[in-house]
Amino acid sequence: MARYKPIDTSPRFLAVDLQRQLLPGTFEHALNHLIDHEIDLSGFDARFKNDATGAAAYPPAMLLKVVLFAYSQGIISSRNIEAVCRDHVTFIALSGDSQPHFTTLAGFVSTLADDIARVFTQVLYLCDRQGLIGREMFAIDGVKLPSNASKQKSGTRADFEHQAAKLEAAARVMLDRHREADSQPVEADLRQKATQRITRLQRDAAQLRQWLADHPEDRKGSQGTIRKSNRTDNESAKMATSKGVMQGYTGVAAVDAKHQIIVDAQAHGTGSEQELLVPVVKAIQGAMDNEQTLLSPTSLITADAGYHSEANLKQLADLNIDALIADNGMRQRDERFKDQGKHKQQPDPLHDKSGQKKAKKQTAPYRPEDFHYDPDTHTCVCPAGKTLYGNGSHCVINGYHAVKFQGAKQDCVPCAQRDQCLRTPEKTRTRQVAFFQGKADGEPSFTDKMKARIDSPEGRVKYGRRFATVEPVFGNLRHNKQLNRFTLRSQKKVDAQWKLYCLVHNIEKLAHHGYAQ
């Protein structure tokens, strides 16, 4: 019978050169060389005041290497990072077998806000020096991710005051019952449970009242509207996504088209992408933090319909920036997207076996085509045969001339066809209808100019490059790096964590293009 040498896959004592475990061409080798020889980390020195007294600190360079490599492997928990620093040879090599404690790692990541932006800029400058930034086209997009915040603790100040009042009322009712039952024999366990519940209700109400006292005003949106607050992370936001409503942040990235380098990364606690476009564009202009700028006179900015608004297009025009920003109707006008419906994910038949009630089929209200309008006599007759009176013959609606008519109360209120004519017959008394006469004279809007550009053959080709530029970046971060949620609280900390992940992506690009080999 053949004899084989024993193979021990778990040796406890092994003499290895840690530096040689970082093989050239790998991400960890590029990361190690980058941090040690290219990046200026002197700004981190201000964190420490132990030059004369105090214990020695872990080097920020080592902690940054460990955190970035952990994020590249989909490891985000500080406890898990501590464990692999003890057991994984690559982490041991990057950390010099120093085995940092998880509290050290967590504290380092949560205080990176100001320093990581400077590191990001230096890596970006290195990418430009390596010829990885083309400056021809930049694609801007964002991804909404849940954060370390409770969705159930969101609301306005009025909501929280109502909740506090309900908790206080419930505590009073239970306390009164508790006092009434004092004279009656009650089991000790039941009395103790009732007391604990009263205490919990009073504690929760007191926490709500304290939060209201600390936050005397509601959060304001970009248009002055009230934005819901959150009692666990007040800078996060409730955001609607294709998979439901989440409490989190929007991570925005601006990506260069040449080699998909992320030139700007920001995280914001808002689901409105419109208000983020101009700040990101201005950040691209000053991304290099020196005399140079990433935007050249021939650079093109592209973004999807979430960033489209007349105000944004006007600001880009004032900044003399060439841009292609899609509008909500772009895909309906493009024949290439006529079959997009068949690619949408179908509902899971195994989910929610209870069945959902089908909404009642409602008859569509009458459209302007159902009314008989005579431009010669300037009259309009509704489907019920009643004549409407004109209430505007020289109106301009969204840049188009229009003629408006409205029904009389004595005709509309008793009409038997109200349900077919009005969307909300219980609220609306009379029907109004407008007939458009053509484009109004004057300068076309920025939206109309953008529609003409993006619908042209050249515009469709240029805008089509946006998909291949930015979507693979988010695929890399979310699938390969397993970025499913932010683990920190407050916009400043979440923004730093988002920049860390984008740094991992850019360093990977450097490694793939032969850096430090």
User: What CATH number is associated with residue 271?
Assistant: 3.30.420
What's the half-sphere exposure (Cβ side, CA atoms, 13 Å) at 138? 30
**How sure is the predictor about 143, in pLDDT bands with cuts at 50, 70 and 90?**
very high
Residue 225 has pLDDT above 80, yes or no: no
Lowest mean pLDDT among 119-123, 228-232, 385-389, 473-477: 228-232
The pLDDT assigned to 361 comes to: 47
The pLDDT assigned to 5 comes to: 87
Residue 161 forms part of a structural domain: yes
Residue 11 forms part of a structural domain: no
Cα 352 to Cα 79: distance, rounded to the nearest angstrom:
36
Cα 233 to Cα 245: distance, rounded to the nearest angstrom:
16
Residue 513 forms part of a structural domain: no
Residue 501 has pLDDT above 60, yes or no: yes
Residues 452 and 328 in one domain: yes
Whether the model clears a pTM of 0.85, i.e. scores above it, the answer is no
* Residues of the domain holding 309: 135-148+240-336+446-488
Dihedral pair phi/psi, residue 496, rounded to 5°: -65, -40
Percentage with pLDDT > 90 across the chain: 40
| Residues facing residue 303 across a β-bridge | 140, 325
Residue 70 has pLDDT above 90, yes or no: yes
Q: What is the mean pLDDT of residues 428-456?
A: 84
Closest CA to 281 of 139, 102, 455, 409: 139
Residue 229 forms part of a structural domain: no
Tell me, rounded to whole angstroms, the distance of Cα 169 from its chain centroid. Answer: 38
Cα 471 to Cα 221: distance, rounded to the nearest angstrom:
28
The pLDDT assigned to 350 comes to: 61
How is residue 454 written in tokens? 């993006």
Residues 284 and 391 in one domain: no
Q: What is the mean pLDDT of residues 100-125?
A: 91
What are the DSSP calls for 389-456, one per residue?
Answer: EEEEEEEEETTEEEEEEE--HHHHTT-TTHHHH-SSTTT--S-EEEEEEEEPSSPPPHHHHHHHHHHS
Residue 359 has pLDDT above 60, yes or no: no
**How sure is the predictor about 133, in pLDDT bands with cuts at 50, 70 and 90?**
very high
Residue 316 forms part of a structural domain: yes
Cα 466 to Cα 480: distance, rounded to the nearest angstrom:
21
Lowest mean pLDDT among 77-86, 272-281, 288-297: 288-297
**How sure is the predictor about 160, in pLDDT bands with cuts at 50, 70 and 90?**
confident
Q: What is the mean pLDDT of residues 166-172?
A: 87
Residue 333 has pLDDT above 60, yes or no: yes
Query: DSSP H helical segments within 88-187, as ranges?
Result: 89-95, 102-110, 113-129, 157-180
DSSP assignment letter at 136: S
Query: What average pLDDT is seen over the chain?
Result: 86
CB neighbours (10 Å) of residue 343? 7
What would the pLDDT profile of 33-59 be if each residue is shown by its tens digit?
999 999 999 888 888 888 888 888 899
Residues 293 and 421 in one domain: no
Between strands 229-230 and 154-155, the pairing is antiparallel
Residue 355 has pLDDT above 60, yes or no: no
**How sure is the predictor about 287, in pLDDT bands with cuts at 50, 70 and 90?**
low
How is residue 121 written in tokens? 């800029």
Residue 192 has pLDDT above 60, yes or no: yes
How is residue 409 written in tokens? 């109360």
Dihedral pair phi/psi, residue 346, rounded to 5°: -85, 155
Reduce the secondary structure of 303-356 to three states and give it as a string. Answer: ECHHHCCHHHHHHHHHCCCEEEECCCCHHHHCHHHCCHHHHCCCCCCCCCCCCC
Residues 332 and 244 in one domain: yes
Residues 247 and 144 in one domain: yes
Residues 247 and 331 in one domain: yes
What would the pLDDT profile of 409-436 be if each residue is shown by its tens digit?
999 999 999 988 998 888 888 999 998 8
**How sure is the predictor about 124, in pLDDT bands with cuts at 50, 70 and 90?**
very high
Dihedral pair phi/psi, residue 49, rounded to 5°: -130, 50
**C-alpha distances in angstroms, 383 versus 173, 376, 392, 408?**
59, 19, 21, 14
Between strands 400-406 and 432-439, the pairing is antiparallel
Residue 283 forms part of a structural domain: yes
Residues 246 and 314 in one domain: yes
**C-alpha distances in angstroms, 480 versus 54, 75, 266, 476, 508?**
41, 11, 20, 5, 12
Residues 244 and 331 in one domain: yes
Q: Note whether 67 and 109 are within 8 A (CB).
A: yes
Cα 401 to Cα 502: distance, rounded to the nearest angstrom:
49
Reduce the secondary structure of 209-251 to three states and give it as a string. Answer: HHHHHHCCCCEECCCCCEECEECCCCCCEEEEECCEEEEEEEE
**C-alpha distances in angstroms, 186 versus 150, 176, 280?**
38, 15, 65
Residue 168 forms part of a structural domain: yes
Lowest mean pLDDT among 122-136, 279-293, 376-390: 279-293
**How sure is the predictor about 288, in pLDDT bands with cuts at 50, 70 and 90?**
low
| Residues facing residue 323 across a β-bridge | 301
Closest CA to 35 of 122, 98, 157, 93: 122
Residues 142 and 169 in one domain: no
Lowest mean pLDDT among 28-32, 165-169, 178-182, 481-485: 178-182
**C-alpha distances in angstroms, 467 versus 116, 140, 180, 302, 475?**
28, 10, 69, 10, 12
Q: What is the mean pLDDT of residues 11-21?
A: 81
Q: Note whether 166 and 238 are within 8 A (CB).
A: no
Q: What is the mean pLDDT of residues 496-505?
A: 95
Residue 507 forms part of a structural domain: no
Residues 61 and 208 in one domain: no
Lowest mean pLDDT among 213-227, 233-247, 469-483, 487-501: 213-227
Percentage with pLDDT > 70 across the chain: 92
Residues 312 and 385 in one domain: no
The pLDDT assigned to 183 comes to: 65
Residues 249 and 307 in one domain: yes
Q: What is the mean pLDDT of residues 242-266?
A: 91
Overall domain count for the chain? 4
The pLDDT assigned to 351 comes to: 55
Q: Label residue 511 exposed, middle or buried (CB < 10 Å: 0-12, 13-18, 19+).
A: buried
